[in-house]
């Protein structure tokens, strides 16, 4: 599965199902109809996309949306959610995180208390496990097959290096002057 095929699958998932649970079920089924190699490549592409999203500017956007703080894990899941928006929205968010203000899923959150976001919360942790679940289904293992799966994913990825630090320059989204300059629309939509 190359990058274009990965994005086509993500976008077809958006067209075919609504809500995170339905989308995961659809994606799990679509992956389970592919070869083991394609399922492994899907995870490798997903990891690449998540790494692309690992920037200080996008983390600042997540911080702003979440009320001034986003954990390491929460940011990983926010990056996966951003990928789940589709290739165009994802690319725009990488180039300009403030473009998330245009995304209907973000607009639905404005003015609502965070404790009422429920299924609308902009994180998609489960996306990180859907290929593993499809892999287990394909090899007929209901219990843990993660060791074999992740060994196959590592072999697919090769020796690529990944940064332990986000790309770009870190900045504090709680500094209103800086937030207003770098994330003008999100700062208005999600005041701290």
32: in domain: yes
> In percent, how much of the chain has pLDDT > 70?
97
Closest CA to 31 of 20, 19, 15, 43: 43
**What's the pLDDT at 99?**
98
The CA distance from 186 to 65, in Å, is: 7
164: in domain: no
Average pLDDT score over the chain: 94
The CA distance from 16 to 27, in Å, is: 9
163: in domain: no
**What's the pLDDT at 65?**
97
65: in domain: yes
140: in domain: yes
- 185's tokens: 């629309």
The CA distance from 32 to 34, in Å, is: 5
Degrees, nearest 5: CA angle 12-14-16: 65
74: in domain: yes
What is the extent of the structural domain holding 60? Answer: 3-158+169-189
53: in domain: yes
Contact 139, 33 (CB under 8 A): no
Could you give the number of structural domains in the chain? Answer: 1
176: in domain: yes
**What's the pLDDT at 107?**
97
pLDDT in tens, 121-176: 999 999 999 999 999 999 988 678 888 899 999 999 987 666 688 999 999 999 99
**What's the pLDDT at 146?**
87
pLDDT in tens, 57-94: 999 999 999 999 899 999 999 999 999 999 999 999 99
């Amino acid at each position: 599965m190359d990058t274009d095929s990965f994005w086509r699958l993500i976008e077809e998932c958006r067209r075919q199902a609504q809500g995170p649970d339905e989308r995961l079920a659809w994606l799990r089924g679509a992956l389970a109809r592919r070869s083991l190699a394609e399922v492994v490549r899907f995870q490798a592409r997903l990891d690449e996309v998540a790494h692309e999203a690992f920037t200080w500017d996008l983390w600042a956007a997540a911080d702003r949306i979440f009320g001034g703080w986003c954990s390491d894990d929460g940011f990983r899941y926010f990056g996966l959610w951003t990928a789940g928006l589709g290739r165009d929205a994802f690319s725009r968010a990488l180039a300009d995180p403030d473009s998330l203000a245009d995304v209907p899923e973000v607009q639905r959150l404005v003015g609502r208390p965070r404790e009422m976001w429920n299924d609308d919360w902009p994180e998609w942790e489960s996306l990180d496990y859907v290929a593993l679940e499809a892999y287990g289904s394909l090899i007929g293992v209901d219990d843990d097959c993660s060791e074999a799966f992740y060994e196959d994913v590592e072999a697919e990825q090769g020796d690529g290096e990944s940064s332990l630090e986000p790309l770009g320059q870190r900045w504090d989204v709680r500094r209103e002057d800086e937030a207003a300059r770098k994330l003008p629309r999100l700062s208005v939509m999600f005041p701290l």
